[in-house]
Structures are given as structure tokens and as C-alpha cells.
Amino acid sequence: MNTTELGTPSSPPPAPRTSNIYVILFGGFMFAGLLLLAWLGTPPRTTAVGQKLPRIDLQPLTSAPEVSNESLKGKVVVLYFWGTWNTECQLEFPEFIKLFEQFVDSADVVVLPISCSSGIEYDLEGLKTETTKFLANYDVELPTYSDSAAMTRQQIALLLPNGSLGYPTTLVVDQQGVITQAIEAYIPGEMQELVTAIRTSLQAAPVAGER
């Protein structure tokens, strides 16, 4: 009679070494944590500086002429985004007025105050009324603009570190259309420093015929 020999039962496979898996996972979490701490400790960068000014879409609001990228070519431009309702703008506005008065008669500098609501300006007449009322507190004739569809703010926000534009925000653009200064929030004394920077930019500009 034929008999079939049964082999010795094979031993079960070794259990996975879960301790090694835990070590690997722990190391991965530690590495990710170090990267996060390094990122949090990195100071924000103003990415707008050095970038070309995007196409602007501004509408005259109070006693202001039409303006476009083409009309600003060859000039130093100051764009000032502010809101009558914003506390920091209210604090900074007297300093901004002093900057405006420094260059109001200059043919080489254009100052563009852009009065903003907290979102898209659905009520332009209301914005104009509030802006006019606010300006009545100052002995100055200030031409202002609106960004009625928020297109200009959206374009500029893409260049800023957090992808959003707060108030106040001040940009200085040189004669080549490049942003040289980008200041977010109110910083006491910063407007006077901008005046110095603008004058330096004007002195460095090429004379007529060299452009």
C-alpha cells in the first residue's frame, strides 16, 4: 500500500516588528514638526517689491482725472489703499496728507488715494458720500479713486505675502513701473520715510533723452 508522507508542519511566519514601524513614524512626525517650526520662524517677505505693477482699474471718485497704466508711464506713483471706516487708516491719514502735499505740484509724481469699502463697492454713491464727509476734516483738495470691482486690489493681493490686501496698504512704483515699496498696516513715521525714498528715486531717474 502506497503511503503519503506528511511533511513536518512549517513554522508560522515571524510577526512583523511593529516597534520599527513606530520608530519610523515617530521620526517622520519629528521631521515634519521641525520643518513647521522653521517655516513659522521665517520672517514674511514682501513679494510685491520688484514686481511690475499689475493693470489697474480705478474710477475717479472725488475731483480726480482718469488714470491708467499708460498715463502713469515714466512717473513715480504712490497707490494708497484706505478706508474711512478703518481705525488704522484714520490714524495714518494725517501723515498721508503730508506726503500728498509734498508732491501735489510735481509733474513726476502721481499720488493715487483709493477709497475702499470692506469689499466690492456696490454703493458707489454711498462711498463717495462717506469719503467726501471724511475729507471735510482736512483742509486739502484730495482727488480720490474707487476700485469698484476690486480688480486692482485682487491683482495686487496676489503679489503680497498672505495673498490678501489689508488697510492701509501703500505701494510706491518707480518710473519703469516696478514696485519699490510695499507697506501694509499703519507704521508711525513711515510716510516721511517714503517721501525720502521717492525723492531719491527722482534723483536717480535718467534725464530726458536717456530714457
d(CA 121, CA 60): 13
Tally of structural domains, the chain: 1
d(CA 111, CA 104) in angstroms, rounded, equals: 8
Q: What is the C-alpha to C-alpha distance for residues 128 and 121, in angstroms, rounded to an integer?
A: 10
Distance CA 150, CA 117 (A): 10
Residue 103 falls inside a structural domain = yes
Phi-psi region of 177 (alpha: psi -120 to 50; beta: other; left: phi over 0): left
Model confidence at 134: pLDDT above 80: yes
Mean pLDDT of the chain: 82
Contact 99, 195 (CB under 8 A): yes
Helix (H) / strand (E) containing 111: strand 109-115
Closest CA to 51 of 194, 159, 198: 159
12 pLDDT band, cuts 50/70/90, is low
Residue 6 maps to a domain:
no
Tell me how many helices (H) and strands (E) the chain has.
5, 6
Mean pLDDT of 17-32: 49
Nearest to 169 by CA among 43, 78, 70, 35: 78
Grid coordinates in use for 2?
A: 502506497
Question: In this structure, what C-alpha cell is assigned to residue 95?
Answer: 501723515
The pTM (predicted TM-score) of the whole model is 0.75
In a domain, 28, yes or no: no
Residue 120: give the domain boundaries.
Answer: 59-204
Q: How confident is the model at residue 21 (pLDDT cuts 50, 70, 90)?
A: low
- Residue-level pLDDT at 23: 45
Which grid coordinates are listed for 18? 511593529
CATH number at residue 158: 3.40.30.10
Which residue has cell 510735481?
A: 106
Of 159, 158, 154, the closest CA to residue 49 belongs to 159
Identify whether 76 is part of a domain: yes
Task: Give every CB contact of residue 149 below 8 A, 6+ residues apart in sequence.
Answer: 57, 120, 121
Domain membership flag for residue 63: yes
Peptide bond into 168 cis (omega under 30): yes
Predicted local distance difference test score (pLDDT) of residue 13: 53
Residue 199 in domain: yes
| Residue 26, domain member (yes or no) | no
